[in-house]
């Protein structure tokens, strides 16, 4: 690229022509910055919600890899533990049953049978769960650990008794009866579905009557396919291997679609700003038609002059993307403080005008989490900034086609 093209583009960007307003360029930069900032902040909050959901599902429910079928061979468990990238291996089993408190109606509950030493075998479980009351004791065959919301529905606390529809087989039968269990602890995971419908119990002494599944957690969950292939070669044909991608395909697909649609909707901001840049660049070319004619008379090609205005559009995109990315990362990192300050300002204004109305943008009383979590991956931030720059550059490119209709002889004839 000729050096003069860059110099002229820089001059046009920084110094509007005498008598013209710099407002269109300023508004274009602000529009791009606002779009990038909004998109980064919204996606950061959405990523935070989705990451918390995915983490809860993988660490508490599905785990990274599951083995089901004939798992009676003790050597099979030892071979699985020796595989690379395997962090922890333990047995578990799920059962849908009915649970009832002393003064409540029966509720459907998912019982998860876990080994007594699960906190030592799987330290991440301790990180995911907050013990609200009692202790994480699975040694009592008639003890149960309840989710915080489930304990509220049942109206029970630690030491109280609940009744479970219990049988020794895989599923409740006609001989099943309501067996009393003592609440040993109450936990909270900040994932409502689990807190409102799950209970942990230890394996009974007659474990052979309960179908056992092997839960496997990996050091890096994204290497599940390589571990899955290794397991397929290790386990007998009677054992089924299921990764977290297969087990949670429906919900993860829904989360991915939600994020994609949100990106498309917010990215429409860039199309609006791109249209504004297209119109302002056309007006800019009309204002500088004499200068363009002089450059053409001095030997500059149409392509070179088009490059000047394309670079000017790229400068708008780069400046707007840089400002928007900075503000987006700043807001994402302090989103909870932004909520609190906004609430305080709005409620103060309401009190000044004697309105009793008060708002709460985010409150743990309304949302089942203690705070908003924002995560902005660098690759997503780069793609957003790149899209902003490309939209402004494309708009300037389309507007620059008017240069081809300018003939220096006609423009300079009466100058």
What residues does each domain of the chain span? 3-52+252-412, 71-237
Residue 198 has pLDDT above 90, yes or no: yes
Q: What is the mean pLDDT of residues 33-62?
A: 88
pLDDT at 174: 43
pLDDT at 408: 60
Chain segment 316-368, per-residue pLDDT in tens: 889 999 999 999 999 988 888 888 888 788 778 777 776 666 666 666 555 66
Residue 172 has pLDDT above 60, yes or no: no
pLDDT at 253: 87
Greater model confidence, 233 or 15? 233
Instruction: Could you list the beta-strand ranges (E) of 81-134.
Output: 86-100, 107-114, 130-134
Closest CA to 108 of 145, 150, 155, 170: 150
* Confidence bin at 414 (pLDDT 50/70/90): low
What's the pTM? 0.76
Q: What is the DSSP string of 25-78?
A: HHHHHHHHHHHHHHHHHHHHHHHHHHHHHHHHIIIIII-SEEEEE----HHHHH
Q: What is the mean pLDDT of residues 19-38?
A: 80
- Here the tokens at position 358 are 């008060």
* Confidence bin at 155 (pLDDT 50/70/90): very high
Return mean pLDDT, the chain. 83
Closest CA to 5 of 403, 319, 413, 409: 403
Residue 226 has pLDDT above 60, yes or no: yes
* Percent of the chain as helix, strand, coil, to the nearest 5: 55, 15, 25
């Amino acid at each position: 690229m000729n050096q003069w093209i860059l110099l002229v583009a820089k001059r046009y960007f920084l110094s509007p022509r005498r008598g013209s307003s710099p407002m269109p360029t300023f508004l274009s930069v602000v529009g791009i910055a606002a779009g990038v900032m909004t998109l980064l902040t919204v996606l950061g909050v959405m990523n935070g919600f989705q990451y918390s959901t995915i983490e809860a599902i993988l660490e508490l429910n599905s785990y990274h890899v599951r083995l089901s079928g004939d798992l009676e061979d003790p050597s099979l468990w030892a071979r699985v533990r020796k595989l690379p990238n395997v962090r922890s291996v333990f047995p578990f089993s799920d059962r849908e049953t009915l649970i009832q408190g002393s003064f409540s109606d029966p509720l459907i509950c998912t019982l998860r049978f876990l080994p007594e030493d699960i906190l030592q075998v799987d330290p991440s479980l301790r990180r995911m769960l907050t013990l609200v009351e009692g202790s994480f004791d699975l040694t009592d065959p008639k003890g149960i650990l309840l989710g915080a919301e489930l304990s509220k529905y049942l109206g029970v606390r630690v030491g109280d008794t609940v009744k479970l529809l219990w049988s020794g087989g895989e599923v409740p039968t006609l001989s099943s009866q309501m067996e009393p269990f003592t609440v040993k602890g109450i936990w909270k995971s900040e994932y409502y579905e689990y807190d409102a419908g799950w209970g942990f119990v230890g394996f009974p002494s007659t474990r052979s009557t309960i179908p056992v599944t092997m839960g496997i957690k990996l050091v890096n969950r994204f290497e599940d396919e390589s571990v899955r292939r290794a397991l397929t070669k290790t386990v007998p044909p009677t054992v089924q291997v299921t990764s977290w991608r297969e087990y949670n395909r429906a919900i993860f697909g829904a989360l991915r679609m939600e994020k994609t649609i949100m990106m498309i909707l917010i990215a429409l901001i860039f199309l609006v700003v791109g249209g504004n840049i297209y119109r302002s660049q056309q007006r800019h070319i009309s204002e500088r038609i004499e200068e363009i004619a002089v450059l053409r008379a001095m030997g500059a090609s149409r392509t070179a002059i088009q490059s000047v205005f394309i670079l000017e559009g790229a400068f708008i995109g780069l400046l707007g993307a840089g400002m928007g990315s900075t503000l987006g990362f700043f807001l994402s990192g302090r989103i909870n403080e932004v909520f609190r300050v906004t609430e305080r300002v709005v409620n103060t204004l309401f009190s000044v005008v004697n309105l009793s109305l008060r708002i709460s943008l985010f409150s743990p009383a309304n949302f089942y989490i203690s705070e908003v979590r924002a995560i902005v991956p660098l690759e997503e931030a780069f793609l957003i900034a790149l899209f902003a720059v490309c939209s402004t550059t494309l708009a300037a490119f389309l507007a620059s086609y008017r240069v081809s209709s300018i003939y220096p002889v006609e423009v300079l004839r009466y100058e």
